[in-house]
Amino acid sequence: MKAIAWIVLAVGLVCTALFVTTGLTGDDQFAWLNGWLAGPIILLFVAPMMFSLAGKLGGGFAALTGGVPKAFLGAPIGMGTVVGVARTGLSVNDQPQLDIQLDVDTPDGRTFRGTARQIVDLTEIGAVQPGAVLPVRYLPDGRVALATDASQQELQSALDHVQLAKGHITPKQLHIAQNGLESRAVVLAMAPTGEVRQGRSVVMLTLRVTRPDQTMFDVTQEKALPPTAIRHVQPGSVVRVMYLPHDESEVAVLLQLVP
């Protein structure tokens, strides 16, 4: 948007120069009323409006095109739970800009509240409702932006470390997630234990995991899952898992980043 504003400004300067030149060399009193009058109009009205709009869009326009504001490039990734959403009143191509308030959990165990300003496609509004978990990049001063530029590997690593810091997984499970073999498993049984840990339901999962040679093994283990994940582990569901080929006593279930 700023590039377009600079182009408009350049056009305005050229037209204004021609307007002045033509007016000075004209033979009659109406020489100033020529076609180059558009130049001063562009300089006085159009160009300032374009620069103003570019400033208002800021990081929102970058987000619309899949990037993040420059200040957040390379910033660490945390997991933000949406607690509130409000429209800013600005929209681009009929897509609203939202202030998304999040409780952000970081890989080092901290939690803070931040607001990400983002232009969101109308078809994706459901993904930013309260309770949704979104990956964000964050700065030391507490500013956040949705991590729309991060790779799946970066996001999964951040999620794993956040879960470890919050006690949702053990160091062994993190080791499995980072170094294990990825496979698919069918949920044979899922039974709630009645226990709740930090807002997560504790369940007993029985999984049938398929090895690379198409043989299978069963494993039963306790998992503390967020409410949004329960529907993904119903009997008969297929889930992604990681396991160590030399130790099939435990698997790591790969949770979805966004419910």
**Residue 239 · residue 253 · CB < 8 Å:** yes
**Residue 135 · residue 105 · CB < 8 Å:** no
Q: Which helix (H) or strand (E) holds 62?
A: helix 47-64
167-253 and 72-149 share a CATH fold: yes
Q: Please compute Rg for the chain using Cα positions.
A: 27
> Does residue 42 carry a pLDDT above 60?
no
Domain boundaries, the chain: 2-64, 72-149, 167-253
Compute the half-sphere exposure of residue 44: CA atoms within 13 Å on the CB side of its CA. Answer: 6
> Does residue 71 carry a pLDDT above 90?
no
- Assign 236 to helix, strand or coil: coil
Whole-prediction pTM: 0.57
Report the CATH fold assignment for 167-253.
Answer: OB fold (Dihydrolipoamide Acetyltransferase, E2P) (2.40.50)
The CATH number of the structural domain formed by 72-149 is 2.40.50
**Residue 119 · residue 64 · CB < 8 Å:** yes
Q: How far is CA 159 from the centre of its chain?
A: 13
> Does residue 183 carry a pLDDT above 90?
yes
Average pLDDT along the chain: 77
CB atoms within 10 A of CB 89: 7
Distance CA 108, CA 110 (A): 6
Compute the half-sphere exposure of residue 132: CA atoms within 13 Å on the CB side of its CA. Answer: 17
**What mean pLDDT is predicted for residues 76-82?**
92
Residue 256 has a pLDDT of 58
> Does residue 101 carry a pLDDT above 90?
yes
**What mean pLDDT is predicted for residues 145-161?**
86
Distance CA 241, CA 258 (A): 17
Question: Which residue in 149, 251, 141, 237 sits closest to 190, CA to CA?
Answer: 237
- Cα-based torsion angle of the residue sequence 216, 219, 225, 228 in order, rounded to the nearest 10 degrees: 30
pLDDT in tens, 187-225: 999 999 999 887 788 999 999 999 999 999 999 999 888
